[in-house]
Amino acid sequence: MKKILFRTTIAATAFVVFGFFSTPGTAQDINWDSVEGKQITLLYPGQGSWEWALTKSTHSGAAKFRQGKKCNECHEGEEQDIGNLIVSGEKLEPQPIERKRGFIQVNVKVAHDGENFHMRLEWTEQGINGFPAMDPDYETKVTVMFDDGTVAEAKRAGCWGTCHDDATGMASSSGSELKKYLSKSRVKNTRTGGGTNYKTDTEIAALAAAGTFLEFWQAKLNHSQAPVAVDGHILKSRDENETPAITVTSQFQHGTWVVVFSRPLEVPGDYRKAIVPGKTYSFGIAIHEAYAAKRFHHVSFEHTFVLDRGDADLVAKSR
């Protein structure tokens, strides 16, 4: 009896110290030490929407952005300064949150095992106590959004292609609850966004069939609890799948999160992007830290990954 108790204690201690959790069916372990990572900086975006970025009177880069330049071509390396400016409330953020940080540095690694694609994200948490409980259920949420080259705005602006001025909490939000969407799902788009000028269901279905949507993966996190995995797509709105195809492992140790998303390279059914060699995938990362919700998150500009070979920020090799 005593022996069993002792064992239980050890196991429980190990659990708390290492705090390693996974959702069921997680793919095999990758030797991540052998994979080179890339440091990606996420910034606090405030109300800097897609339409804001396109407007000359609000954004100095608008003209060139309209001509085809990518956000990152002008802003790579400026994430910390931009994030610090916005989080202070000096620009684009009418409701600054005290003590919130302006940027988060995330180490990103990708790999595959012939069947599954894996993305590993590691970042150090800012203490989460004392921040407004916008989402009281989860301390932190981390999300990856990606496209396979079909959606032009994802290539040039990552997450910004889905972030509109009339979404909830944004500058032109008129009380209606709009989530993320792609402009192509609307009949008309203006400086304030596309509102509820939806295209017909038939038109939306045709867009989806042509791959005009972004896929997203999310891990909802609490210290010492298993992560909750969610995935879905963005076209007419942000829609979650009933059953996620992704699995997630998470670990929180010494103030640092390590989260690994795994997904079969190909998933049957609608609204899934096949991950195949020879394509360039654009992706963005978002972290809702310290019970944050909606726009009060940190986001990356656009980055790229490829499978096996090609020119991209990250190359997923077989491990």
Q: Which residues bind ligand HEC (CB under 6 A)?
A: 48, 53, 59-61, 64-65, 69, 71, 73-75, 82, 85, 91, 157, 160
**299: left (phi > 0), else alpha (psi -120 to 50), else beta?**
beta
Choice between 214 and 219, CB closer to ligand HEC: 214
Q: Which is nearer to ligand HEC, 21 or 296 (CB)?
A: 296
Enter the tokens of residue 83. 């994030």
Instruction: State which residue, 144 or 159, has the beta carbon closest to ligand HEC.
Output: 159
Q: Is 201 left (phi over 0), alpha (psi -120 to 50) or beta?
A: alpha
CB of 61 to ligand HEC, least distance (A): 2
CA distance 132 to 153: 32
Q: How near is the Cβ of 279 to ligand HEC at its closest, in Å?
A: 22
In 3D, which of 166, 276, 132, 152 has the Cα closest to residue 213? 152
List the end-to-end C-alpha distance of the chain, in Å, as a whole number.
Answer: 43
What token pair was written down for 187?
């009949």
Report the distance separating Cα 20 and Cα 295, nearest Å. Answer: 29
Closest approach of ligand HEC to the CB of residue 50, in Å:
7
Residue nearer to ligand HEC on the CB measure, 111 or 154: 154
CB atoms within 10 A of CB 156: 19
Q: Which residue has 């959790």 as its token pair? A: 21
Nearest distance from C-beta of residue 165 to ligand HEC, angstroms: 13
The residue among 27 and 71 lying less far from ligand HEC, judged by its C-beta, is 71
Rounded to the nearest whole angstrom, what is the least distance from the CB of residue 182 to ligand HEC in the complex?
14
Q: Please, which residue, 145 or 246, has the CB nearer to ligand HEC?
A: 145
| 126 within 8 A of 289, measured Cβ to Cβ | yes
CB 82 within 8 Å of CB 60 = no
Nearest distance, CB of residue 124 and ligand HEC, angstroms: 24
In order of 59, 142, 167, 210, the CA distances from 192 in angstroms are 15, 27, 9, 27
Nearer to ligand HEC, 65 or 213 (CB): 65
Q: What is d(CA 104, CA 126) in angstroms, rounded to the nearest whole number? A: 9
> Which residue's C-beta sits nearest to ligand HEC?
61
User: What's the min distance (Å) between Cβ of 48 and ligand HEC?
Assistant: 4
Q: Which is nearer to ligand HEC, 84 or 105 (CB)?
A: 84
Shortest approach of ligand HEC to residue 302 CB, angstroms?
Answer: 8
